[in-house]
Amino acid sequence: MTTTTTPVDAAEPRDDAPTRTTGIAAPKWYAPGPLLRTYGPLVAIGVLALVLLVWAPNSLTAFRLGNLGKYCAWAIAAVGIGLAWGRGGMLVMGQGVFFGLGGYAMAMHMKLEAAGPDGVPDFMTLYGNGTMPGWWEPFRSGPFTIFAIVALPAVVSFLLGYAILKRRVKGAYFAILTQALAVAFSTLLIATIKQTGGFNGLNTFTTFFGQNVYDPNFKKNLYMIAAGLVIVCLVVVWQLYRSRFGELLVATRDAEERIRFLGYDPANIKLVAFVVAAVMASIGGAMFAPIAGIISPSNVDAAASIMLLAGVALGGRASLLGPALGAIAVGYGQSALSEQFPTQWTYFQGALFIFVVLLLPGGIASLWPKLKERWPTRSARDEVAAPDAEVPA
């Protein structure tokens, strides 16, 4: 299967084209000023940081802030999906697995904290004979848990990615395999009620690294951590996108064979993006568990993974801020609409997928350049006039 270039995807890389001087005369569309080109996205991230870290905690109620914290957890995972799918062209349909690895690792630590030293989590005595499986033991340690939240998804995604990508399995096959992984993972969780809490998942936490999770001040701090991590992840991908790696990733997405002929191994490039995306999903999950107060198979299964994709698709998969904003918007929409129309929510969800992907494949982010075309500024006129701006049919 050949990678088909959509008009939007093709147009996208221009937006943050490298500004490094390469000795070649810069194309005309650099004209708007290299400084703004380079650091404009950073300003946008800064504005988002102000909204999330200054405005929101001061103006939202504790309940709304808690919800926003949940959306931020999804947004962290969504930023990773933007990297793997938007820039890397890998449709990752199983990010719930990595979200779950992080979420469960954190939840296990909190369960053990609640159980006290040498204690056993309550559900194990409830459903089992009160003995704790050995692999729970290391999660008593806070530092190990944090290490595991990063290392576990990295190892799993590396092994899976290596096995699949190195054999040049790609496109739809890759997507299906990641979704199959999500299905297998959630079924396994549901079946192991004595070890992982089964369908109920892990819930009723009391403390998070010694802090009382019911303390309103601490809840706010927890939100601040999640929102801060969204910003950190955005800065990380911003740097990745403008690096040589970011260029290679987009090039691999658009013409994998050419990259291979140029002497690179596309599998390695994609593997890095896949692993980074997995780690981000895991961090998102690790923030989700304490904020939501629960992590269960329904937060990590195939449907949850697809919800993450919906946000990314809506916001704009290949844009910098689109995935995060889209995830927050979909999270908000889900709470708002499912409260009002509990049964019709699924229709909205389905319709969202159909209309966004069918009519607006670049997401809302792709509307921006179109707006600029309609009210051409000097720089935008240059852009339209530039031969590079030609959009393939």
Partner 1 sequence: MDALTTPFLTGTATGAILLLAALGLSLTFGQMGVINMANGEFLMAGAYAAYVTQQVITSTGISILVAIPVAFLIAGLLGLLLEVSVIQWMYRRPLDTLLVTVGVALVLQQLAKDLFGAQGDPVRPPTWLRGSISVFGYAWPHRQLFTIILAVASLVALNAVLKYSSFGRQIRATVQNRDLAETLGVSTRNVDRITFFLGSGLAGVGGVAIAMISGTNPTLGTTYIIPAFLVVVAGGVGQLKGTVIAAWVVGVVTAYLTDWTSGSMAQVLTFALVVVFLQVRPQGLFTVRTRSLA
114's CB contacts (< 8 A; 6+ apart) are: 121, 122, 204, 205, 206, 207
Shortest Cβ 41–partner 1 spacing (Å): 25
Residue of 65, 190, 233, 314 interacting with partner 1 (CB under 8 A): 190
Q: Give min distance, CB of 242 to partner 1, in A.
A: 25
Residues 57, 142, 293, 361: which binds partner 1 (CB under 8 A)?
361
Kindly indicate which of the ranges 100-108, 143-151, 171-179, 199-207 contains the residues binding partner 1, using the contact rule CB under 8 A: 171-179
201 contacts 295 by C-beta, under 8 angstroms:
yes
Is the Cβ–Cβ distance between 307 and 78 less than 8 Å?
no
User: Does residue 341 touch partner 1 according to CB under 8 A?
Assistant: no
Residue 100: C-alpha distances to residues 152, 189, 234 (Å): 11, 10, 21
User: Among residue numbers 228 through 267, which ones bind partner 1 (CB under 8 A)?
Assistant: 256-257
Q: Which of 10, 42, 175, 386 binds partner 1 (CB under 8 A)?
A: 175
The interface mask with partner 1, positions 191-230, x = CB under 8 A, is: xx--------------------------------------
Least distance from partner 1 to the Cβ atom of residue 133, Å: 15
* Contact partners, residue 101, CB within 8 Å, separation at least 6: 149, 152, 153, 156, 282, 285
Closest C-alpha among 324, 378, 388, 343 to residue 44: 324
Which residues, numbered 125-164, are part of the site for partner 1 (CB under 8 A)?
160, 163-164
In the bound state with partner 1, the residue whose beta carbon lies nearer, of 155 and 357, is: 357
Amino acid identity of residue 371, one-letter, is: L
Query: In this chain, which of 3, 19, 204, 207 binds partner 1, going by CB under 8 A?
Result: 3
- Residue from 26, 33, 34, 187 in contact with partner 1 (CB under 8 A): 187
Q: Determine phi and psi for 206, rounding to 5 degrees.
A: -115, -45
Task: Give min distance, CB of 366 to partner 1, in A.
Answer: 14
What residues numbered 287-326 form the site for partner 1, per CB under 8 A? 302, 306, 309, 313
Burial class from Cβ neighbours inside 10 Å (0-12, 13-18, 19+) for residue 150 reads middle
Binding piece for partner 1, criterion CB under 8 A, among 71-79, 224-232, 235-243, 346-354: 346-354
Match 């309550």 to its residue by tokens: 122
Stretch that binds partner 1, among 63-71, 264-272, 344-352, 364-372 (CB under 8 A): 344-352
Which residue of 262, 354, 367, 385 would you call a contact of partner 1, by CB under 8 A?
354
| Binding flag, residue 391, partner 1 (CB under 8 A) | no
Cα gap 188→181, rounded to integer Å:
10
For residues 101 and 278, what is the distance between their CA atoms, to the nearest angstrom? Answer: 10
Nearest to partner 1 of 47, 351 (CB atom): 351
Question: Distance between CA 324 and CA 316 in Å, rounded?
Answer: 9
- In 116-215, which residue ranges form alpha helices assigned H by DSSP? 122-127, 142-165, 171-191, 193-196
Exposed/middle/buried for 392, CB within 10 Å: 0-12, 13-18, 19+? exposed
- Considering the complex, state which of residue 108 and residue 308 has its C-beta at the smaller distance from partner 1: 308
Which C-beta is closer to partner 1: that of 350 or that of 376? 350
CA 380 to chain centre: 31
Q: Which two tokens stand for residue 85?
A: 């799918």
The distance of closest approach from Cβ of residue 183 to partner 1 in the complex, given in angstroms and rounded to an integer, is 5
Query: CB 275 → partner 1: shortest distance, Å?
Result: 17
DSSP 1: -
- Concatenating the DSSP letter of every residue in 48-64 gives HHHIIIIIHHHHS-HHH
Nearest residue (CB) to partner 1, 177 versus 235 = 177
Contact residues for partner 1, defined by CB under 8 A:
1-4, 6, 89, 91, 93, 160, 163-164, 167-169, 171-173, 175-177, 179-181, 183-185, 187-188, 190-192, 256-257, 302, 306, 309, 313, 343, 346-347, 349-354, 357-358, 361
